[in-house]
Amino acid sequence: MSMRTRLAPALADTHLDGETKVTDRSAAPEGTGSIKVSGVGYGYPGVRTGQRVIDDLEFSVRPGEFVCIVGPSGCGKTTLLKLLSGLIAPEAGSILVNDEAVSGPPENLGFVFQDHGRALLPWRNAVRNVEFSLEAARVPRRRRKDMARDALRRVHLPDVENLYPAQMSGGMQQRLQIARALAATPSVLLMDEPFAALDALTRFALEDALLEVWQELGLTVVFVTHDLDEAIYLADRVIVLRRGPAHVVREVRVDLERPRDQGRTRAEKDFVALRYELFETIRTL
Helix (H) or strand (E) holding 11: helix 3-12
Report in angstroms how near the CB of residue 44 gets to ligand ATP at its nearest. 3
How many C-alpha atoms does 254 have within 13 Å on its Cβ side? 32
Q: How far, in Å, CA of 185 to CA of 157, rounded?
A: 17
The verdict on 254 binding ligand ATP (CB under 6 A) reads no
Pick one of Mg ion, ligand ATP, none as the site partner of residue 44 (Cβ within 5 to 8 A by kind): ligand ATP
Instruction: Identify which of residues 76 and 186 has a Cβ nearer to ligand ATP in the complex.
Output: 76
Closest of 195, 222, 215, 187 to residue 67, by C-alpha: 222
Instruction: Identify which of residues 53 and 234 has a Cβ nearer to Mg ion in the complex.
Output: 53
Report in angstroms how near the CB of residue 203 gets to ligand ATP at its nearest. 17
Residues 252 and 238 sit within 8 Å (Cβ to Cβ):
yes
Span from 22-30, 56-64, 75-83, 126-134 in contact with ligand ATP (CB under 6 A):
75-83
Pick one of ligand ATP, Mg ion, none as the site partner of residue 74 (Cβ within 5 to 8 A by kind): ligand ATP
SS3 assignment, position 56: strand
Instruction: Identify which of residues 78 and 202 has a Cβ nearer to Mg ion in the complex.
Output: 78
Q: How far, in Å, CA of 124 to CA of 173, rounded?
A: 12
Report in angstroms how near the CB of residue 274 gets to ligand ATP at its nearest. 21
Report in angstroms how near the CB of residue 68 gets to ligand ATP at its nearest. 13
Enumerate residues 6+ apart whose C-beta is below 8 A from 117.
Answer: 165, 173
Among 20, 39, 44, 199, binds ligand ATP (CB under 6 A): 44
**Site size toward ligand ATP, by CB under 6 A:** 10
Residues that bind Mg ion (CB under 5 A): 77-78
Report in angstroms how near the CB of residue 227 gets to ligand ATP at its nearest. 11
State the SS3 of 79-112.
HHHHHHCCCCCCCEEEEEECCEECCCCCCCEEEE
Closest of 244, 184, 228, 234 to residue 214, by C-alpha: 234
* Residues present in the chain in total: 285
Span from 68-76, 100-108, 161-169, 276-284 in contact with ligand ATP (CB under 6 A):
68-76
Strand partners, 223: 68, 191
Pick one of ligand ATP, Mg ion, none as the site partner of residue 79 (Cβ within 5 to 8 A by kind): ligand ATP
> Contact residues for ligand ATP (CB under 6 A)?
44, 47, 53, 73-79
